[in-house]
Amino acid sequence: MNALLKPENFKPNYSLVKREVSKIHDQFSIEDPPVNPAEIAEGLGIDVRFVEFTGEHSKISGFYDPEDNTIYVNKHEFPLRQTFTIAHELGHAVLHREWARGDGYRV
Ligand SMILES: [Zn+2]
């Protein structure tokens, strides 16, 4: 089993986060804010799609689908909230794609 899938590893792993963030900073030559998480996602080959969630799902801000490697963002939310959502979902994609594939991950 992937180490990230063990329940005891569900606690935040800040050193992993720092390593992954450093890699992204290097890869995209990011030195200062502002950072555009949508650009980073696209650069990593992750599609970002702005979509309409309907009915009981209309309050969803977004989610990452590991099957099609795509971040879906609620197109009706305001841009700063969408940027936060993309950054958050990018975290799922970069830090624990395997876990996102399993049953533990819920939209
Ligand atoms: Zn999440």
82 CB neighbour count, 10 Å cutoff: 20
38 alpha carbon to ligand 1 midpoint, in Å?
16
86 alpha carbon to ligand 1 midpoint, in Å?
10
Q: Is-contact 85 77, C-beta < 8 A?
A: yes
92 alpha carbon to ligand 1 midpoint, in Å?
7
* Domains of the chain, residue spans: 37-107
One of 2.20.25.90, 1.10.10.2910, 1.10.150.20, 3.20.10.10 is the CATH number of 37-107, namely 1.10.10.2910
88 alpha carbon to ligand 1 midpoint, in Å?
6
Q: What's the pLDDT tens digit per position in 85-102?
A: 999 999 999 988 777 777
Q: What's the pLDDT tens digit per position in 21-62?
A: 999 999 999 999 999 999 999 999 999 999 999 999 999 999
